[in-house]
Amino acid sequence: MKLTDSEKREIIKSLDLDKPLPDKYRFLLFEDKREVELVWNGKTNEICNIVLPFQTIEQVDEPRIETNSQTSIFDLYDERGRQISGWTNKLIWGDNKLILSSLKNGPLREEIEKNGGIKLIYIDPPFDVGADFSMEIEIGDDSFTKKPNVLEEIAYRDTWGKGSDSFISMIYERLVLMRDLLAEDGSIYVHCDWRVNSYIKNILDEIFGRASFRNEIIWHYQTYQGQVKNYFPRKHDTILLYAKSNNPIFHLLKDDNPEQTIDFTRWNMYLNENNEITGSNYPKTDSRFNGYYNRFIKENHRKPGPDDVIFKIEGNTIDSVWDIKAVDPKDLKEKVDYPTQKPEKLLSRIIKASSNKNDLIADFFCGSGTTCAVAEKLGRKWIGADLGKFGIHTTRKRMIEVQRQLKEEGKDYRAFEILNLGKYERAHYIGINLNLKEEEIQAQIAHKERDFVSLILSAYKAEKIQNFECFHGKKAGRFVAVGPVNLPVTRLYVEEIIQECIKNRISRVDILAFEYEMGLFPNIQEDAKSKGIDLALKYIPREVFDKRAIEKNQIVFHDVAYIEVKPHYNDNMFSVELTNFSVYYNQDHSDTIMENLRNNTSKIVVKSGKVIKISKDKNGVISREGLTDTWTDWIDYWSVDFNFESKKETIRIKKEQSDEFEKIWTGDYVFENEWQSFRTKKNRSLDLITPKYEFEKGRRKIAIKVVDIFGNDTMKVIEVNIGGD
């Protein structure tokens, strides 16, 4: 028996507190061998139990007004929305292991249990080992491949970088946490394909037990496969269904065969000028039709229209082979330009089979938000989570469209909030072996952080300095603070820098970061300026890890985006106009692209916030074409909170030496999304001015949020005096 010092301390602490030992010691201390056990390189029985606070970045309710007419601000609110059932749906950005652990062990667990617990989990984890997690972004008639940011690359590195065993380790721990979060009558559907389905089946057998297995569902779809010579075209995925207990929620479903329905198309019916049904095949003498026709009018308070099914003959029971078409690339209504998007019909079948109305369901790899969208349409509560900012933003737009659709149909909907994990475990992303002794872990962290800071300072051409808490270097009279490699820079991090500036009378600072927290920095630079500090926020480019780029002096640290707005007053009527949005992104270097570009090909690059298409014709002649003509080309979405600072952002954290949680104010406010305009696949236009709204006279703060085509958000707060001078 060989225990680490950390394990020995844990045993002693449990004994001192008179608490049972964690389950892993059943195997470590007593060598209780299982008859069958799945083993892989690096397997551990330790499951994450970290509790991090959830911060509310944004509260989203369906926009009430979309026309540029004068109206009262009170018309913005609807009797539906966030009042339904007391539950606000949750869209969470971050690593789902930490999200799952915080949901299971933190204060949100109580709210989940009050709503009946999670009845259904569907996940579609990234199972393509060769996936690079890039995104295709539409720019005019062209498309641009957005590379994953460094945080996404690092987070996925441990999933794919070491082969199949690293994927198994990743999914095993998350599935254990999901099992513990499921209600006793809940079920989980795990979507996979030929690459990993054999692994996933064994993992689920071990975690849930073989007796909990319910179905291996074959989803057969029709998509373009290309020409293959050495194997049959792969045209199906596997969805594995497991139950938490012997009595899960389950409803047998019947096939919706259009040949078994009576509707306008099938029966060649139409509405005449008197809004009466007529037509060559109108079944006037069919008693079933007349009965269902009258019931339709009674239930819907209107006559049926061309899109309504009047009555349906029940189809066959759906079995475990599902023929459902993949998302049609030409379907502008459903397609959202997300590479792994699944059809809504697939999720509708799953949700209908294994949940009831008002049940809570979850998707912890939510991607483009199909699960959340279908859940909302079917009257379910939901939790969605994803690591990618682009996925979170795609889901936000999609859910707003769903809210609009439901409101137009006179149906109820719920508000949703976008949440962020408040802090992170430092060792999580940077490749530390957490099975080492505590002192060895800390030594590894310190060593890796020193190497990382040295690399960034070298690329930034800054000299290293010491004896400061926050600052790492100095360049041209400006102090330099390097954000962490493994997590976004937070507001608290910036406030610590400001405090050290005040303490040491430092007036000029550059902050370098791979990523900034979502919903961060409303006027943080103006706040620093009011304290006499010139604060510059810059992005660390991904090329910083490319030695050749450093040697060629191609590294550009670009500034964060900047918003300009213009308020419009007319007595107590008020509107906001978006007048400028400045971005400074860079991706790929044009000189390198031109060197490697073949004849008759083209490549799109981003240079200093401009998207440029570089082409080489058949004779080797190079041409450049700007694809972003104006600043509006960079905007995908913008929204307004007309009364920022009306809702304080609070988090619940565990009290010291106690299992109780206390609510504290973070010092920030929740952005309440009251109006927005955004581009969709179907409609690429964008409104640049809000409608005019009537407010009570007086001073208030207005917050404006802009999300660019890459999914990155920027926020600005202005103070206005409604009805004043």
> How would you classify residue 259: left for phi > 0, otherwise alpha for psi between -120 and 50, otherwise beta?
alpha
Burial-class residue 687 by CB neighbours within 10 Å (0-12, 13-18, 19+): middle
**Dihedral pair phi/psi, residue 168, rounded to 5°:** -60, -45
Q: How far apart are CA 89 and CA 77, in angstroms?
A: 18
Distances in whole angstroms, Cα of residue 78 to Cα of each of 163, 247, 404, 414, 671: 51, 39, 12, 11, 18
Q: What is the pLDDT of residues 471-493, one digit of tens each?
A: 999 999 999 999 877 677 887 88
* Helix, strand or coil, per DSSP, at residue 400: helix
Query: What does the pLDDT average to over 435-452?
Result: 67
Residues 6+ apart with CB under 8 A from 10: 22
Q: How far apart are CA 28 and CA 206, in angstroms?
A: 18
Name the pairing type of β-strands 478-482 and 508-513.
parallel
Distances in whole angstroms, Cα of residue 471 to Cα of each of 282, 450, 504, 511: 79, 13, 11, 9
Domain boundaries, given as residue ranges, for the chain: 1-33, 54-253+317-421, 258-312, 438-486+488-559, 562-722
* Helix, strand or coil, per DSSP, at residue 19: coil
Q: How far apart are CA 415 and CA 396, in angstroms?
A: 11
CB-side exposure of 554: number of CA atoms within 13 Å? 19
Q: What is the pLDDT of residues 490-509, one digit of tens each?
A: 878 888 999 999 999 999 99
Residue 344 has pLDDT above 90, yes or no: yes
Query: What does the pLDDT average to over 191-213?
Result: 91
Which helix (H) or strand (E) segment is 181 a member of? helix 164-181
Distances in whole angstroms, Cα of residue 448 to Cα of each of 52, 151, 283, 432, 444: 24, 16, 77, 9, 6
Q: How far apart are CA 606 and CA 588, in angstroms?
A: 7
Supply the DSSP string of 322-375, one letter for each residue. Answer: EE-PPPPTT-TTT--S-TT---HHHHHHHHHHH--TT-EEEETT-TTTHHHHHH
Distances in whole angstroms, Cα of residue 217 to Cα of each of 187, 225, 240, 468, 664: 14, 21, 6, 58, 46
Return the DSSP state at 629: -
Binning pLDDT at 50, 70 and 90, where does residue 83 land?
A: very low
Name the pairing type of β-strands 558-559 and 671-673.
unpaired
**In this predicted structure, which of 281-285, 304-308, 390-394, 589-593 has the lowest mean pLDDT?**
281-285
What pLDDT score was predicted for residue 295?
78
Q: How far apart are CA 179 and CA 243, in angstroms?
A: 9
Distances in whole angstroms, Cα of residue 192 to Cα of each of 124, 126, 127, 171, 352: 7, 8, 7, 12, 20
What pLDDT score was predicted for residue 630?
85
**Average predicted confidence (pLDDT) for the chain:** 80
Which helix (H) or strand (E) segment is 615 a member of? strand 610-616
Residue 86 has pLDDT above 70, yes or no: yes
Residue 600 has pLDDT above 50, yes or no: yes
What pLDDT score was predicted for residue 705?
93
- List the CATH code of the domain at 54-253+317-421: 3.40.50.150
